Amino acid sequence: MSSNTILKDTLREAILAEPDAILDDKDLMQALVTANEQARGNNVIDLRGIAMQRLEARLDRLEDTHRSVIAAAYENLAGTNQVHRAILRLLEPVGFEEFLQILGADVADILRVERITLVLETTAVQKDPAISRLAGVLAIVEPGFVDNYLTFDHSGPAREVVLREIIHPAHRIFGSDADHLRSEACLRLDLGEGRLPGMIIMSAKDPRHFTPKLGTDLLTFFAGVFERSMRHWLS
């Protein structure tokens, strides 16, 4: 018996022992189908084979979609956990100054952004020394600044959450970090009846970190919790 015959017999026995292994192997099945088509010649049209190819292509697209959905679900879960951790951290301080310091440091780290700035409008000249100590996280501006900032790149009323690339960084908001920041999330704050609005600006060095295509549900939730905390501190 030649070596080729021994090889053929060995393969035959393996196939007969585990026929399902061939059916589950996509590449092997494709090779068998191709060999079968070549054996029939070019004058025969295999409609079943064409249908199978289309089904395989459709299955591949469904598998890609399935993987994308799973990846998006994990990313959304991770984002939800981050926001929840950030909110819990904000609830810990017992003083307003500590509250703002945690916003600019711990919360920024949890949310993985380079900088978080709280913008507050006021009509009065502020000379409180605490404002100087909080210059890295707190910006005091004139009335109307928040809505102007939220709408300078589009017409219409100010949206509650704006995600965009930073084209012209505002040094009065970002300080010495302004030239290094490339995208921002702007969250408008309703601080209660009779009070001027405020705003949280989260900024990142990556121009794709905040884009208009991203969902805003988690940021809206964060802003809602934060503005309620601010109303408590301002009361």
pLDDT digits 0-9 by tens, 71-93: 667 777 788 899 999 999 999 99
Cα angle for residues 153, 154, 158 (degrees, 5° grid): 105
Distance, in Å, from the CA atom of 79 to the CA atom of 143, rounded to the nearest integer, reads 33
Per-residue pLDDT tens digits for 14-65 = 777 877 777 777 777 777 767 666 666 566 556 666 677 778 788 878 887 8
Which is higher by pLDDT, 197 or 58?
Answer: 197
pLDDT of residue 234: 84
Strands 198-204 and 115-121 turn out to be antiparallel
Distance, CA of 18 to CA of 23 (rounded, Å): 10
Of 183, 175, 173, the C-alpha closest to 205 is 183
> How many residues are listed for the chain in this entry?
235
Indicate if the pLDDT at residue 1 is higher than 50.
no
Answer yes or no: are the C-beta atoms of 183 and 211 closer than 8 Å: yes
pLDDT, greater one: 124 or 72? 124
Cβ partners under 8 Å of residue 162, min gap 6: 150, 184, 185, 186
Range with the poorest average pLDDT among 63-72, 194-203, 205-214: 63-72
Q: Pick the most confident of 4-18, 109-123, 126-140.
A: 109-123
Instruction: State pTM to two decimals.
Output: 0.69
Task: Please name which of 215, 198, 163 lies closest in space to residue 184, comparing C-alpha atoms.
Answer: 163
Nearest to 178 by CA among 153, 201, 144, 209: 201
**Residue 226: per-residue pLDDT:** 95
Q: What is the mean pLDDT of the chain?
A: 83
Domains of the chain, first to last: 3-63 (no CATH), 76-234 (3.30.450.40)
Higher-confidence residue of 137 and 42: namely 137
